[in-house]
Amino acid sequence: MKIFLDTADVSEIQKAYSTGLIDGVTTNPTLILRSGDTLYNVASRLLKECPNLISVSTEVVAETADEMIEQAKTYQPLGEAITIKVPCTIEGLKACKILSDQGVKVNVTLIFSVAQALLAAKAGATYVSPFIGRCNDNSFSGIELVRAIANAYSVQMCTTEILAASLRDVHHVSRCYTYGASTVTMPPSIFWKMYDHVLTREGLDQFQKDWESATLLG
């Protein structure tokens, strides 16, 4: 079970990374725009400042597979954790096949069907990213999509990992892991909600009070 953060905010990532529970990071052009920095700088800082990350997704934006591969070359030298993120288009899948054959980790993104996930696996993807929240926004179940992809991968013995993305709440996270995602990428706000429960807080308050009373008795 791996936890990735879906953000390009390096200080937020460092804060969560210091818990020892974060395995990777995913970014996309929107998140990079929000960070106010370049993708190259963000990825480069992450690889230096968070050395145990196993995957940092850097998304290429181009029309053709050749252009995607050219862009990928900019990020690959940063380190082994660099995972080239390509869209699920024919050109993206071509790029995925070529890069995967060269031993480069690839994340095929914007997955909304089992057929797309199967082609990505065929192209050698390390990860496929079904977008759970965006499925739900469009009136079909993202969690059911994860379950269906996991089922197809199991029947076909695909080694591509399901990286559930576009998460909206903690409940989504638990269900994605339950239904077959090996990895979930989430905004830091969701990560920080995962440990929290009102009954834990209430129980802790009571234990604290009783501990203080017991200490007074002793």
**AA letter at 82:** I
Stretch that binds ligand E4P, among 65-73, 130-138, 151-159, 173-181 (CB under 6 A): 130-138
Nearer CB in complex with ligand E4P: 133/188: 133
Stretch that binds ligand E4P, among 36-44, 61-69, 129-137, 146-154 (CB under 6 A): 129-137
| Residues labelled as active-site residues | 85
Cβ atoms within 10 Å, residue 143: 20
Provide the CB-side half-sphere exposure for 118 (13 A, CA).
9
Q: For 179-182, which contacts have Cβ atoms below 8 Å and span 24 or more sequence positions?
A: 179/143, 179/146, 179/147, 179/150, 180/146, 180/147, 180/149, 180/150, 180/151, 180/153, 180/154, 181/146, 181/150, 182/1, 182/2
Nearer CB in complex with ligand E4P: 174/206: 174
Minimum CB separation from ligand E4P for residue 26, in Å? 4
- Distances in Å between the alpha carbon of 168 and those of 77, 165, 190? 33, 9, 8
Q: Do 185 and 164 contact (CB within 8 A), yes or no?
A: yes
Nearer CB in complex with ligand E4P: 33/115: 33
Residues 167-196 contacting ligand E4P, CB under 6 A = 185
Written as six digits, the tokens of 171 are 């409940």
Minimum CB separation from ligand E4P for residue 205, in Å? 34
Minimum CB separation from ligand E4P for residue 69, in Å? 20
Choose, by CB under 6 A, the member of 133, 152, 170, 193 that binds ligand E4P. Answer: 133
Written as six digits, the tokens of 215 are 């200490």
Q: Does 26 bind ligand E4P (CB under 6 A)?
A: yes
Nearer CB in complex with ligand E4P: 131/191: 131
218 three-state secondary structure: coil
| Positions in the binding site for ligand E4P (CB under 6 A) | 6, 26, 28, 109, 129, 131, 133-134, 165-166, 185
